[in-house]
Structure 1
């Protein structure tokens, strides 16, 4: 079993950025639920389809650049990095939860 890395200075900045992105994603998810409550299903389907298409396009381009730069799709076993710190793994889901709960208390009006 691989051990996890320890948190370094840059990891704390990355943690804060991922929590902030998660908060805004949580606010967007709450907005989608509000659209669903109004019955705007066409808008919801269009937003989800465009987002999914962008994610698929990003993943394809990322894999293509990785293949061009290294000549293979996955790094050899000896070059693989150790696992991320546990705080980094839970930073985005924590931000989403904070965003969804905060949207119920008016955080969206404050930030947006």
Structure 2
């Protein structure tokens, strides 16, 4: 969420109305000195590590998500459009086809950072 959205109620209804999601319910606050691409990479590593591996969308998707974010970080965000497209495709597949909530939400933080925070602009 952006600084102008700090008054949004942290409820399923409040975040849905604002066009965002609570995700897993974790709240992390950062100022503008935190390098968002590196933070997103760390979040992707968490989801990769936590995937049980039972379903292909999550088992493969979390790895592909991390790989794409590594490429973006390694290039310092330059020409990230192909990887952002890949992230969107992988994220939709994970959301639509993963068996559990972990796989279904593993893309949420990255999606939000791209769409709401302009992470790679």
Alignment TM class, shorter chain as reference = under 0.3
- More relative contact order in 1 or in 2 (CA 8 Å, sep 6+)? 1
- TM-score, normalised to structure 1, is 0.24
**TM-score, with structure 2 as normaliser:** 0.23
